[in-house]
Structure 1
Amino acid sequence: MKKKPVKERIIETALIMFEQHGYHGVTVDQIVDECGTSKGGFYHNFRSKDELLYHIHDVFISYLLNKAKESYDKETDPVSRLCAIITSFTRIFDLYKPHITVFYQESTYLKGDFEERINEKRDEYRKLLLQVLREGQSTGDFRQEVPAEISTMAIMGMINWMYKWFKKDGELSIETIASIFNDMMIHSLLTEKAMKLGRGDRFLLKTEPV
């Protein structure tokens, strides 16, 4: 079997070790010993352990932001945009759960320019989601009495908490979980008029025929 590239092995090893022992509980020497490379190999790919932690964070945040932008451009109405963004947000836990877990456990150790760059992307994502909700309120699709700012934080908090409980081998698939989240948001946010017009019908959970 072909050996994985050094950078990939370093990242995979660091994810496991950071999650188990914490960022400050792991040294570069321990990482290179565990993954079978050298300190030279480590510093060829990362200037420091801080840059490695930044990379772990940046991989999934950049992917998430790009997917949200793709959803916004692909869909043509606020309801479809919101549901597509929620779906892509949920799916990331199937792809990058170790990265996300390390992020929430160790993000306080990210400092300086690294912290600033990550926060900029997180803020850009939050603003895009907020924009979609406000657009939906202006079109009459989303309820005006529910503040868009609160809805934004509620959606992000609801999905982010998956890092605590989602398991790939669990009872529910990632697609089913995304559908549940969308169903919840549609029933919470859509106006009666939008519901009657079937704005979110394709994202609702399907009921079994009696």
Structure 2
Amino acid sequence: MTSLKQSIIDASLSLFKEHGYNGVTVNQIVQHAGTSKGGFYHHFTSKDELLYEIHDVFISYVLKNAKTAYHDYHTPITRLVAILRTFTEVFHTYQAHIIVFYEESQSLLGDERTLIKAKRDEYRKLLQRVIEEGQTCGDFRKVLPPIIVTMSITGMINWTYKWYKQDGTLTMQQITAIFIDMILRGIVTKQGEQEASLYFLHEPEL
């Protein structure tokens, strides 16, 4: 059974996606959720706090899974693959959150925006550390600046929210495999190629 708090979040996600954060009122949210203002303010002090909660749920989930992936694997290549998989899977699981996350981040209040930015930066630094570790051990090409590699990866994957369709011709798992293939082929050295090749896509036989 869905809790009232979750019903309010689900209603706001639907409305924010359709009308934008600034185009939706608390009255519209409670009407859509089938509750009252009292029910809303029992869980949230304001619409601003609700928006922060939506952002925080998503980025906290992504960061937690990235940290788990980092500690569960022990080579830069397997760590990178695991982190990418945990990142892309949320585009299916939290698709509505992601749309609001990227479209409405500028609507967050100053302190709340700072908190979310800190978690986004922590995620980026973890990913960059994996790239740097791969360069140190010789698996990733040292000619590529780690910050540029990191920003390129996050930029490519972040944009998925604009075009990914849950009922599209490719599943998120298939799309992730394509991302991993492109990224690894672009950054691995001859030394790292054997391990990385386990994640390469193979051309169909003629």
Q: What is the Cα deviation at residue 113 of structure 1?
A: 2.0
Deviations 1:78-102 (A, max 9, x none): 0110111111111110011111111
Q: 1:171 aligns with which of 162, 169, 172?
A: 169
Unpaired runs of 5+ residues, structure 2, are none
Identity, % of aligned positions: 51
Letter in 1 for 2:153: I
TM-score in terms of structure 1 length: 0.95
- Report the 3-state secondary structure (helix = DSSP H, G, I; strand = E; otherwise coil) of the residue aligned with 1:142: coil
TM-align CA RMSD: 1.0
Q: What is the Cα deviation at residue 35 of structure 1?
A: 1.1
Letter in 2 for 1:205: L
CA distance in 2, matches of 1:206, 1:98: 33
- Which consecutive segments of 4 or more residues in structure 1 shift more than 4 A? none
Q: 1:28 aligns with which of 26, 29, 32?
A: 26
Letter in 2 for 1:208: P
1:79-98 equivalence runs, <5 A: 79-98=77-96
CA distance in 1, matches of 2:63, 2:171: 22
CA distance in 1, matches of 2:185, 2:99: 30
Q: What is the Cα deviation at residue 111 of structure 1?
A: 1.3
Residue of structure 1 in register with 2:160 after alignment: 162
Letter in 2 for 1:207: E
Residue of structure 1 in register with 2:129 after alignment: 131
Unpaired runs of 5+ residues, structure 1, are none
Q: What is the Cα deviation at residue 7 of structure 1?
A: 0.6
Q: 1:141 aligns with which of 122, 139, 145?
A: 139
CA distance in 1, matches of 2:148, 2:17: 31
Aligned residues: 206
Q: What is the Cα deviation at residue 105 of structure 1?
A: 1.3
CA distance in 2, matches of 1:81, 1:206: 22
CA distance in 1, matches of 2:3, 2:35: 10
